[in-house]
Structure 1
Amino acid sequence: MSFVNLLRAGLTLLCVSLVPVSASESPDSNEAAEPEFKGDREGHEMRDVIPKRDIPSAPVLSVEQALKRFQVQPGFVVEPVAAEPNVFNPVALAFDARGRIWVAEMTTYMPDVQGTGEMQPRGNIAVLADTDGDGELDERTVFISEIVLPRTVSIVEGGIFYADQTSLYFAEVQNEDGRLTPGLHEVVDPDYARGGSVEHKTNTMLYGLDNWYYNARSDTRYQVLPHESAVPTGAEEIYRNRHWKLVRAGTEYRGQWGLSMDDYGRLYHNGNSSPVHGEYLLPNALARNPGFWPDATAHAIGGHRVYPARMNPGVNRGYMEGVLVPEGPDRGKLVNFTAASGSLVYRGDNFPQPYYGMALTPEPAANLVTARRIIEGEGQLSGEALFPGQELLTSTDERFRPVNLHNAPDGSLYVVDMYHGILQHREFLTSYLAAQIKDRELDENNNTMGRIYRLRWQETPAADVPDLTQLSPLQWVSLLGHDNAWQRDTARRLLVQGEAGPEIIRAVKREIRNSERPFAIINGLWTLRGLDAIDLATVRRYLRHDNDWIAITAAAVGEALPKADHKAYRKQLMKMARSGYPRALQAAVSVSAIEGGLDISRHVLKHHRHQPYGREAVISGLGQEADAFIASLEDGELDEETEYLLNNLGKRQEEESNRAQLSSDRQALYDRGKQLFNGEAACASCHGRHGNGQTGVAPTLWETQWVKDSQRLARVLLHGLSGPIQVGPFVWDTPAVMPGFAARQDISDEDLAAVATYIRNSWGNAEDSGGALKESTITAVREATEARSEPYTAEDFQSPEQDR
């Protein structure tokens, strides 16, 4: 799982997310078979770098015992919220408007090293409630059972969304004599998490500030709309019920396991071996032009180093040099992230102000939660450790597996602890890790435990959990500026997905007009946008605001203005474009919503093309007017790089596939390779379905010289590749290392030839029109390199001794 890539300890470009394939895709046929450790690599010495006698035991602990194993920074305290028998193997949760917890319980995940019975439908969506108000959840209701590995749960008007290993569902929530039961229960997207290995599937359904639901390990977003509403440009309706209709649209491919957002609506995510990354721009800002699809860069918020409280030899590649600290007081502890989980931007009101807005990432392989300060720069985000050389929260209990974090209704931080001995899935498990698991009996007592903890500021009691269903819509309006983001986000969802009339719209406008808090105004503006109630006066008022992000938000929601207001809106965008960076970026993007804004695009290009995203924002905002824009320019206005981008608009789509130029048998191999790339081989989890790559994770595959040489590509596929490498004019230097397939018994030489055919003939690559990389090439290279046990580097291919 993404949170579970106990990985390859930072040694893979394969990202993981927590989810198995469906029973129909991968039947549980290994029930009685001896374990096959698919993670083993030929030539690797599975040595115990830490003698077994020196490794602490890992017994099952009671909640009381587990609490004594935590180490937290001064001022913080850890408290139990729920534990077995009220919750089992939680992996994701959501709070409804009453403050109840809806939890996805993955109760069959890896009970032993063989994953015996994993695909049996025994997972649940359960509801946890605090009936006596003491802050601990004491009531459990199994709302839906018999689910194969549930991985996602989210709240929506009238019910919940949840996902199993393949599909996204809607389940209507009914209250019958005080007991929750499902009413209407239907599939809304059958392909939500289809394909891929157990560790590489879509998850999350985060309700974003712009009222879209976003997902990790996905390039798809969803929005709930009234039945009579128009379908947004670029979206399609995929489902409707008596409450609403659901539309689906494309978005940037992002993340691995879990998503979070800040007060501006920007998204944060992570990869298995890379902690939280943040996007400087609003979602889809660079996706307005159908012929232009640049990478949406996500910036690393701090480094990869971790500081566990106990030894961590129980990681998949713990036997390899550099994975564990070799000596000294930290001997045996994990060096870098290898199993980053659901990251979070803390937006509660329980911690002191200096901690508001910090970025948090759990590391379940190292039994800790790390904290970083987000630093805003020009066109980029960065970060630094809040506690240098230390962590916010650590445990000496090896079974403590924090896999998700949540801002809670009481203002504190909730930690989802799967409490599980085995973290790495069988598809990637090494015999080294299997032995570690057996030595400490981590393959016993799994799937019957689970915990949820509260991290609270010791001097500030957790607030009472409010029941927002007992409030009127006018009272919801008053919560749009609440100090606790959970309350304001929930109030916005209730208003937008409900039936708000003119009185509510007027109340929202009054609320933001009377507020001086940026997050309140921003939240209110997106509420108006969700209610289809944006007007010119409101946009004009806030476009002139002193706060950059309020002005940026006003421009973004102003894109919904009716055509009659476009002339006045265009004038406001020009004023914004002249207000300097970063407002000019949004002005250039928002031009896409109107006609006749080429002067704005020209101004931004002239003054900001050398700043981050300057060219990209202009080209995105041009939409269908690129030709007219080029014609409007005078000599000298177009620099070489911008000219190249403009001249190649739309061509990538035409050149994306060279399939039509292949013979019929090679087309069949291409199709098989595409299936493997997005499925069993899991290449797409890091390189993306569209080959764009991900910053900090994997390089782009567009027009790359790395696929031209069939011998070199075969070597990389078999044995992997470690950065830095150069692709075109750019250097990609990622902390993770691409693993090879040489030891994968489930991936044949024919399969690798198929993957190579797909890569060599996609994304502007057209290498097989006259020839082909055949299965025999893979086989020959495999035989010639059978002694190799380490991934290649770029330097290896500058030497004739490649086979060593």
Structure 2
Amino acid sequence: MVKARLLLINTLFGVSILGCSYSSINDDGQLSSDASETTPSETRNLGDREGHDMTPPIAAEDIPPAPVLMVPQAMQSMKIQPGFVLENVAAEPNVFNPVAMSFDGNGRMWVAEMTTFMPDLDGNNEEVPIGSIAILEDTNGDGVMDQRTVFLDDIILPRTIALVKGGILYSDQTQLYFAEVKAGDRLGIREVIDPDYARGGSVEHKPNGMLYALDNWYYNAKSDRRYKILPLDGELPQGSEEIYRNQYWKMALSKTESRGQWGLTMDDYGRLFHNWNSVPIQGEFLRPNSLNRNPDLVQEIKAHSIGSNRVYPVRMNPGVNRGYLPEILVSEGPDRGKLVSFTASSGSAIYRGDQFPDEFYGVAFTPEPAANLISARRIIEGQGEFSGEELYAQREILASTDERFRPVNLYTAPDGSLYILDMYHGVIQHKEFLTTYLREQSEARDLHKHNNNMGRIYRLRWADNELAEKPQLLTKTSSQLVPYLGHANGWHRDTARRLIVQRNDKSVADEITDLVNSSKDSRVQINALWTLEGLNAVNSKSIKAGLSSPHTKVQISAIELLTRLPENEQKTFASILMRLATSDYEVALQVALNAGDLMIDDKMELLEAVLREYGDKPLINEAVVSGISGREQELQDHLGSSASEKLNDLLALVGNQEIVESNFNYLVTQEQHQYLHGKSLYEGRAVCAGCHGQQGRGMDGMAPPLANSDRVTGEPDVLIKVILHGLRGPIKINGVEHEFPLVMPGLADNSSFSDYDSAAIATYIRNNWGNASGAISAKEVSKVREQTATRNQPYTADELGQ
């Protein structure tokens, strides 16, 4: 996905067509129109920036054409690494503009089809409610989806689909819904679960994902919310609230770290991986919510980039929004005109299937629709961090010469292969950021035409290995599902766990415990342990087996789940914990994270041992302070002078961070109106939150923080200049230098933002998240605009007086 307010290539993951010329395919394979065009709105290229020379870097006659290709021809355009083959499993008229999907327990595909995004280059009729959730099924076992059932066809821009007991979860552009699935795939009740799931913001910057993670919570990209299905009489997890219930279950909502942009995936250990438009994939070394257990100290998990952001297309890519900028495309040589770096990273997948050779297990695959390719990266795990490297040096695992090939989401499939959602669309840029340059590129190759009835789903498989048979998990009893918790394919393990947990069938707890004891596969032991957690059936026998496992990652899960046991049972593991605490860095890290929840007598001695052995290692001190919530003074007293300076500094911050949610009440009425208007713009049309976050904390490697920022609370002219004309890094905030490779454009040349709008955004920023610096008026903005009228480039820190 593309970050809206970046001066780099603002390209979206996908588009669909409504209201422009509807097309169909004749018997001779040609496209024909079957609907009239709508009346176009006034053309406005809102992405244009004053002073930008948009002369095309590649002459039109040198750019290959981009005709609509039928599936056989489209597949011929694919360049694939040796050993792999690509197969089409669905195409029009069985699928249209797919953006997300989920397999049910029988292997049927539930596909969210975004059939109204950008109907034409001006976005006419974008919000007509005809988006679909379609069920695709292979009825004859040949591996091709031959049956399409439309379950819903009245959704505005559907973007999320997940399976749940009794039905599905899905979202439109604003709300999260439960839709009951009755016999014959008929719609039962349909109710709103969360009215604010995706409220506000640009289409490019709304939550998506609903990944059912190892800890039995549903997580989302572009969101700080997580959701959990519980029995109707189940106890709410600490810090959560009930937001919805139906006849099957109730839903808990809790806060989590804000992460990612489009798509979400995980590894076998429940760690989440996501992306930003120019960052193909990044991963969190700890499971979600690990560092936010102390409510008096704000800490978030850092996400580490997996490899570089370079891409290696096999065709020219001039059709990107700011392809005219010199750093965007290769300027000369055999790769002239090809995209240099990621600009539209989309839904990645950590491959956890069993159809590829073993060396591909755990590899990160990321689609780049702007460059018509899929990239593969090997994840390298270090001490408290991730890194990565290209699986194929200066090559991609799959790349196409078809400019309309737009892979937007990837999934490990029930058959063990990797499934690819291809929107098959020409234009992938939203109207709010479209440049004159891209409009001309699109019109020159007719990329804005023939998109409304296209879409493909492919399967990438290893040629020499068989595909698994279609699963039939929905009719199996819970006892019959237990062996699938140990399946070689991660999809089967995840699905079996979800089905057992959401059935709340505790009768299989002993069988699952036996699986923890008997299996030698760490993935199986971990999955079984978390299935017990979902059933609220963690027991001493399973914990003992987990702590006795030779696999560090199993020990880590067992330590976490040990806290679910009654106090008298926890105490029996005290000596084992003391031994493990100094046996391995990762184990010690988990002990530190859980210390506050452990009901044992010598937890302070346990933490002392961890700090003595690993106190200088990454994340250890942060984990101690997160885990010891409420007993900080006791820890300080116990450690005395042996506490490190870093630990003491963190402990001193507990309860003393200068975080004021809002200075709203100290503004006069007119300024309060301005503040509220600025908030709506920040989270909405101006999409500031897309980079800086809804809490103003910034995004590592993406944008600097605004919360408690001396740059924000300093001279008003500095903030106004940045809002009007943008910023390029690095820049120091409160003495700390922040690097961010991307460039934030200003609003000065965007006619849809008035001086009052810019002043409102500044007022909101200067009076939120610990900032308390008063309002900025439209007159002040107007004055700075006049003074900087000749400015046509973003500011640097030096120019702002760093």
- TM-score (norm: length of structure 2): 0.94
Match of 1:574?
A: 578
User: Per-residue displacement from partner, 1:250-283 (whole Å, max 9, x unpaired)?
Assistant: 0010000010000000000001111100000111
Stretch moving more, 182-191 or 781-790 = 781-790
Of 750, 754, 757 in structure 2, the residue corresponding to residue 748 of structure 1 is 754
Match of 1:27?
A: none
SS at match of 1:97: coil
Q: Following the alignment from structure 1 to structure 2, what is the Cα–Cα distance between the partners of residues 783 and 307?
A: 43
Stretch moving more, 688-697 or 155-164 = 688-697
SS at match of 1:452: strand
> Is residue 138 of structure 1 aligned with residue 125 of structure 2?
no
Distance 1:619 1:5, change over 3 A: closer
Match of 1:776?
A: 779
Q: Following the alignment from structure 1 to structure 2, what is the Cα–Cα distance between the partners of residues 418 and 511?
A: 41
Shift of 1:398: 0.6
Shift of 1:653: 6.8
Match of 2:28?
A: none
User: Per-residue displacement from partner, 1:395-431 (whole Å, max 9, x unpaired)?
Assistant: 0111100000000000000000001111000011111
Of 784, 793, 797 in structure 1, the residue corresponding to residue 796 of structure 2 is 793
Give the residue type in structure 2 aligned to 1:444.
K
Of 612, 615, 623 in structure 1, the residue corresponding to residue 621 of structure 2 is 615
> Is residue 440 of structure 1 aligned with residue 448 of structure 2?
no
Q: Following the alignment from structure 1 to structure 2, what is the Cα–Cα distance between the partners of residues 568 and 74?
A: 54
Match of 1:110?
A: 118
Of 685, 689, 692 in structure 2, the residue corresponding to residue 687 of structure 1 is 692
Match of 1:404?
A: 409
SS at match of 1:479: helix
**What pairs up with 1:635-654 in 2 under 5 angstroms?**
636-652=641-657, 654=659
SS at match of 1:532: coil
Of 547, 550, 564 in structure 2, the residue corresponding to residue 546 of structure 1 is 550
Q: Given that residues 400 and 418 in structure 1 are in contact (C-alpha distance below 8 angstroms), is that contact kept between their aligned partners in structure 2?
A: yes
Of 732, 740, 744 in structure 2, the residue corresponding to residue 738 of structure 1 is 744
Q: Following the alignment from structure 1 to structure 2, what is the Cα–Cα distance between the partners of residues 608 and 653?
A: 30
Distance 1:650 1:758, change over 3 A: farther
SS at match of 2:182: strand
**What pairs up with 1:285-300 in 2 under 5 angstroms?**
285-300=290-305
Structure 1, unpaired ranges of 5+: 21-29, 800-804
Q: Please give the root-mean-square deviation of Cα atoms over the aligned residues, in Å.
A: 1.9
Shift of 1:569: 4.5
User: Per-residue displacement from partner, 1:669-695 (whole Å, max 9, x unpaired)?
Assistant: 222222222122111122111122222
Q: Given that residues 7 and 315 in structure 1 are in contact (C-alpha distance below 8 angstroms), is that contact kept between their aligned partners in structure 2?
A: no
User: Per-residue displacement from partner, 1:497-554 (whole Å, max 9, x unpaired)?
Assistant: 113133x111111122111111011101101111111112322332232211111010
Number of residue pairs aligned between Structure 1 and Structure 2: 778
Q: Given that residues 40 and 430 in structure 1 are in contact (C-alpha distance below 8 angstroms), is that contact kept between their aligned partners in structure 2?
A: yes
> Is residue 284 of structure 1 aligned with residue 289 of structure 2?
yes
SS at match of 1:651: coil
Q: Given that residues 239 and 246 in structure 1 are in contact (C-alpha distance below 8 angstroms), is that contact kept between their aligned partners in structure 2?
A: yes
Match of 2:325?
A: 320
Stretch moving more, 780-789 or 299-308 = 780-789
Stretch moving more, 213-222 or 465-474 = 465-474
Stretch moving more, 532-541 or 39-48 = 532-541
Give the residue type in structure 2 aligned to 1:136.
V
SS at match of 1:794: coil
Structure 2, unpaired ranges of 5+: 17-37
Q: Following the alignment from structure 1 to structure 2, what is the Cα–Cα distance between the partners of residues 669 and 603?
A: 53
Match of 2:88?
A: 80
Distance 1:794 1:735, change over 3 A: same
Match of 2:33?
A: none
Q: Following the alignment from structure 1 to structure 2, what is the Cα–Cα distance between the partners of residues 215 and 109?
A: 21
Match of 1:760?
A: 766
Shift of 1:576: 2.9
Stretch moving more, 141-150 or 583-592 = 583-592
User: Per-residue displacement from partner, 1:447-501 (whole Å, max 9, x unpaired)?
Assistant: 2110000001111122212111233322211011111111111011111111313
Shift of 1:612: 1.2
- TM-score (norm: length of structure 1): 0.94
Q: Following the alignment from structure 2 to structure 1, what is the Cα–Cα distance between the partners of residues 13 and 720?
A: 27
> Is residue 269 of structure 1 aligned with residue 282 of structure 2?
no
Q: Following the alignment from structure 1 to structure 2, what is the Cα–Cα distance between the partners of residues 570 and 702?
A: 41
> Is residue 721 of structure 1 aligned with residue 727 of structure 2?
yes
Give the residue type in structure 2 aligned to 1:790.
Q
Q: Following the alignment from structure 1 to structure 2, what is the Cα–Cα distance between the partners of residues 257 and 679?
A: 17
Q: Following the alignment from structure 2 to structure 1, what is the Cα–Cα distance between the partners of residues 363 and 736?
A: 31
Give the residue type in structure 2 aligned to 1:185.
R
> Is residue 601 of structure 1 aligned with residue 607 of structure 2?
yes
Q: Given that residues 506 and 537 in structure 2 are in contact (C-alpha distance below 8 angstroms), is that contact kept between their aligned partners in structure 1?
A: no
Match of 2:540?
A: 536
Determine what percentage of the aligned residue pairs are the same residue: 51
Give the residue type in structure 2 aligned to 1:398.
E
Q: Following the alignment from structure 1 to structure 2, what is the Cα–Cα distance between the partners of residues 116 and 247?
A: 38
Match of 1:152?
A: 160
Q: Following the alignment from structure 1 to structure 2, what is the Cα–Cα distance between the partners of residues 57 and 637?
A: 69
Give the residue type in structure 2 aligned to 1:471.
K
User: Per-residue displacement from partner, 1:189-231 (whole Å, max 9, x unpaired)?
Assistant: 1111011111111111000011000000000000001111100
Shift of 1:358: 0.4
Q: Given that residues 214 and 269 in structure 2 are in contact (C-alpha distance below 8 angstroms), is that contact kept between their aligned partners in structure 1?
A: yes
Give the residue type in structure 2 aligned to 1:792.
Y
Shift of 1:759: 1.7
Q: Following the alignment from structure 1 to structure 2, what is the Cα–Cα distance between the partners of residues 113 and 11?
A: 17
Match of 1:120?
A: 128
Stretch moving more, 653-662 or 605-614 = 653-662
SS at match of 1:633: helix
Of 105, 118, 125 in structure 2, the residue corresponding to residue 97 of structure 1 is 105
Q: Given that residues 116 and 125 in structure 2 are in contact (C-alpha distance below 8 angstroms), is that contact kept between their aligned partners in structure 1?
A: yes
Q: Following the alignment from structure 1 to structure 2, what is the Cα–Cα distance between the partners of residues 674 and 19?
A: 28
Shift of 1:6: 9.1
Stretch moving more, 674-683 or 122-131 = 674-683
Q: Following the alignment from structure 1 to structure 2, what is the Cα–Cα distance between the partners of residues 294 and 501?
A: 36
Q: Following the alignment from structure 1 to structure 2, what is the Cα–Cα distance between the partners of residues 266 and 164?
A: 27
Give the residue type in structure 2 aligned to 1:590.
N
Match of 2:664?
A: 659
Q: Given that residues 77 and 401 in structure 2 are in contact (C-alpha distance below 8 angstroms), is that contact kept between their aligned partners in structure 1?
A: yes
Q: Given that residues 111 and 422 in structure 1 are in contact (C-alpha distance below 8 angstroms), is that contact kept between their aligned partners in structure 2?
A: no
> Is residue 513 of structure 1 aligned with residue 513 of structure 2?
no
Q: Following the alignment from structure 2 to structure 1, what is the Cα–Cα distance between the partners of residues 480 and 587?
A: 33
SS at match of 2:185: strand
Q: Following the alignment from structure 1 to structure 2, what is the Cα–Cα distance between the partners of residues 609 and 760?
A: 37
Give the residue type in structure 2 aligned to 1:119.
E
